[in-house]
């Protein structure tokens, strides 16, 4: 038996737990039951898991234990408890996306990323909350209620994968599946003290059979799946499981490992992208991360990548006439009061444009990608903010147009990386005034390996202290 008692197996990382289960030191049922007990104890305080799956999870855990007894080949996540977001297809469960009218949209098939996680042996213990239509940097809806940040109940846990982040940060599942179109994995990871990966566009397959109609063109360029974890090691493991081809998304190809580089490792850093301002805790986090890389042997230089400000603007120009236009009638018809208010303010920042704006934006995107390709000829990674502000107070995005504009400006580094389709890894760097802080590590397309290598240097797991107990959350 491991040092951690059966009652506290929920504390363990996925990689550690998988080895214990594979070696027979603990059973999958013990691991899953421990996580379900943790869910029962803390979820009432944060409302992260809105569809608990106790019976189904225990049945899957028993099947996992039976497979081990039969001597079957075991996947890298065999018996490990995880969570899946309510906007992601999971066979036999509703993909409601936080929308009351969609509560009966039951999926017939697993989304490819979910299928890969289950094939690797993971056991799904619950479905995590999102905002209505998954289009806020805050997580709450009228169907399930608000998800709270386990560090500070009056701060956002991030969005739209805020339920996944709050659950993982408190020990409800070792891995939270999320997705990211404008920061929806990276920002919740930042707010909750986690590691969160937005992978290169096309690395992880995506498909929703419950979605009616075609997927908007801009969403195909902007939206990806990604994992949220409590350690870099687990994030790498989850990514390797999820980043495999699947017949439902033929765009994805398995990419082999890159040979080690013979040149010195080089990192750029920028603390205040486009010069619009950044909170002192953010700039210090970026400087600290750069310093750690320098101490580890990286050649480090302060250098801003091309056109950061323009890229943030391009997010609205690409998505506005296409993805947002697709959502306009859906939100008007089915949205709750929270999404209608926040979305109207988004529309104020990104007003209606002609569809040609999307095509022109995609063309401009390709040109800027060329400039970034040249940038990454010199640097392995660039360290930058996730948000240039600490986690916002709950409901901050519902106030007025000026506030929303400031929020969007603060999220410019996430928006820029979404536009380019590059890998962006959120990694915590410490705690400031009781709230976690962190940085975003960005690399060239398909070079998640470089992000993980830098993150392992920057990671300060002990200073973060996850999983945490939300019952002791601060009030700020």
Protein fold of 10-252+264-472: Amidase signature (AS) enzymes (3.90.1300)
d(Cα 339, Cα 146) in Å, to the nearest integer? 12
Indicate if the pLDDT at residue 1 is higher than 50. Answer: no
pLDDT band of 462, cuts 50, 70, 90:
low
Q: Which two tokens stand for residue 92?
A: 């036999």
Express each pLDDT in 259-288 by its tens digit. 888 889 999 999 999 999 999 999 999 999
Q: Quick check: is 281 catalytic?
A: no
Q: Which two tokens stand for residue 288?
A: 């600290």
Mean pLDDT value across residues 334-352 = 96
* Number of Cα atoms under 13 Å in the Cβ half of residue 237: 25
- Partners of 124 in the beta sheet? 82
Q: What is the pLDDT of residue 251?
A: 86
Q: Quick check: is 85 catalytic?
A: yes
Q: 238 to each of 24, 117, 177, 405, how far by Cα in Å? A: 22, 8, 9, 34
Mean pLDDT value across residues 296-306 = 98
Contact 242, 200 (CB under 8 A): no
pLDDT band of 256, cuts 50, 70, 90:
confident
User: Which one from 160, 161, 342, 387 is the annotated catalytic residue?
Assistant: 160
Express each pLDDT in 154-189 by its tens digit. 999 999 999 999 999 999 999 999 999 999 999 999
Across 339-378, b (16+ Cβ under 10 Å) vs e yields bebbbebbbeebeebeeebbebbbebbeebbeebeebbee
Of the listed ranges 220-224, 348-352, 472-476, the least confidently predicted one is 472-476
Express each pLDDT in 41-71 by its tens digit. 999 999 999 999 999 999 999 999 999 999 9
User: Which one from 85, 223, 285, 426 is the annotated catalytic residue?
Assistant: 85
Q: What is the pLDDT of residue 150?
A: 98
pLDDT band of 475, cuts 50, 70, 90:
low
Q: Any residues with CB less than 8 A from the CB of 75 and at least 6 apart, and which?
A: 119, 120, 121, 122, 241
d(Cα 302, Cα 30) in Å, to the nearest integer? 49
For the chain, percent of residues with pLDDT exceeding 70: 98
- Strand order in 435-443's β-sheet? 49-52, 123-128, 81-85, 175-180, 224-229, 195-198, 424-432, 435-443, 381-384, 266-269, 299-302
Q: 42 to each of 12, 38, 46, 300, how far by Cα in Å? A: 17, 6, 7, 42
Read off φ and ψ for residue 372, nearest 5 degrees.
-70, -35
- pTM to 2 decimal places: 0.97
The angle formed by the CA atoms of residues 363, 185 and 218, to the nearest 5 degrees, is: 25
Indicate if the pLDDT at residue 476 is higher than 60. Answer: no
Q: Any residues with CB less than 8 A from the CB of 301 and at least 6 apart, and which?
A: 266, 267, 268, 269, 379
Taking each helix axis from N to C end, the angle separating 401-410 and 337-349, rounded to the nearest 10 degrees, works out to 70
d(Cα 39, Cα 173) in Å, to the nearest integer? 9
d(Cα 250, Cα 108) in Å, to the nearest integer? 19
Q: What is the pLDDT of residue 261?
A: 84
Three-state SS at 132: helix
Q: For the chain, which residues make up each domain, given as ranges?
A: 10-252+264-472
Contact 178, 226 (CB under 8 A): yes
Q: What is the pLDDT of residue 2?
A: 46
Q: Quick check: is 5 catalytic?
A: no
User: Which one from 34, 184, 208, 426 is the annotated catalytic residue?
Assistant: 184
Indicate if the pLDDT at residue 4 is higher than 70. Answer: no
Query: Considering the chain, what is the average pLDDT of its residues?
Result: 96
d(Cα 10, Cα 473) in Å, to the nearest integer? 19
Express each pLDDT in 362-404 by its tens digit. 999 999 999 999 999 999 999 999 999 999 999 999 999 999 9
For the chain, percent of residues with pLDDT exceeding 90: 92
Mean pLDDT value across residues 101-128 = 98
């Amino acid at each position: 038996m491991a040092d951690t008692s059966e009652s506290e197996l929920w504390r363990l990382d996925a990689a550690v737990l998988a080895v214990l289960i594979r070696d027979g030191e603990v059973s999958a049922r013990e691991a899953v039951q421990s996580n379900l007990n943790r869910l029962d104890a803390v979820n009432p305080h944060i409302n992260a898991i809105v569809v608990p799956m106790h019976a189904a999870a225990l049945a899957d855990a028993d099947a996992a234990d039976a497979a081990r007894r039969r001597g079957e080949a075991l996947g890298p996540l065999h018996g490990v408890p995880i969570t899946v977001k309510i906007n992601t297809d999971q066979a036999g469960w509703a993909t409601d996306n936080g929308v009351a009218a969609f509560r009966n949209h039951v999926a017939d098939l697993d989304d490819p990323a979910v299928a890969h996680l289950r094939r690797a042996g993971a056991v799904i213990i619950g479905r995590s909350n999102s905002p209505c239509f998954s289009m806020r940097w805050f997580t709450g809806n009228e169907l399930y209620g608000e998800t709270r940040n386990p560090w500070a109940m009056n701060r956002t846990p991030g969005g739209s994968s805020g339920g996944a982040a709050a659950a993982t940060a408190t020990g409800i599942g070792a891995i939270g599946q999320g997705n990211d179109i404008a920061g929806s994995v990276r920002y919740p990871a930042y707010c909750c003290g986690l590691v969160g990966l937005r992978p290169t566009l096309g690395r992880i397959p995506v498909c929703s059979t419950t979605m009616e109609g075609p997927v908007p063109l801009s969403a195909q360029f902007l939206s990806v799946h990604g994992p949220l974890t409590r350690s870099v090691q687990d994030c790498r493991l989850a990514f390797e499981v999820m980043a495999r081809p699947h017949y439902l998304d033929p765009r994805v190809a398995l990419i082999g490992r890159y040979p080690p580089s013979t040149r010195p490792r080089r990192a750029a850093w920028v603390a205040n992208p486009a010069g619009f301002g950044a909170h002192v805790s953010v700039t210090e986090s970026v400087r600290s991360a750069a310093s750690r890389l320098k101490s580890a042997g990286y050649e480090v230089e302060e250098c801003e990548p091309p056109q950061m400000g323009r890229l943030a603007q391009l997010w609205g120009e690409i998505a506005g006439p296409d993805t947002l236009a697709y959502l306009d009638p859906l939100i008007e018809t089915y949205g709750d009061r929270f999404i209608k208010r926040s979305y109207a303010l988004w529309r104020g920042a990104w007003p209606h444009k002609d569809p040609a704006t999307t095509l022109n934006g995609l063309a401009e995107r390709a040109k800027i990608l060329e400039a970034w390709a040249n940038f990454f000829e010199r640097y392995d990674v660039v360290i930058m903010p996730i948000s240039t502000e600490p986690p916002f107070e709950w409901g901050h995005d519902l106030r007025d147009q000026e506030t929303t504009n400031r929020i969007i400006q603060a999220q410019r580094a996430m928006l820029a990386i979404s536009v380019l389709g590059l890998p962006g890894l959120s990694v915590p760097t410490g705690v400031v005034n009781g709230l976690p802080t962190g940085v975003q590590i960005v690399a060239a397309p398909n070079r998640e390996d470089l992000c993980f290598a830098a993150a392992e240097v920057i990671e300060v797991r002990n200073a973060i202290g996850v999983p945490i107990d939300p019952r002791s959350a601060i009030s700020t």
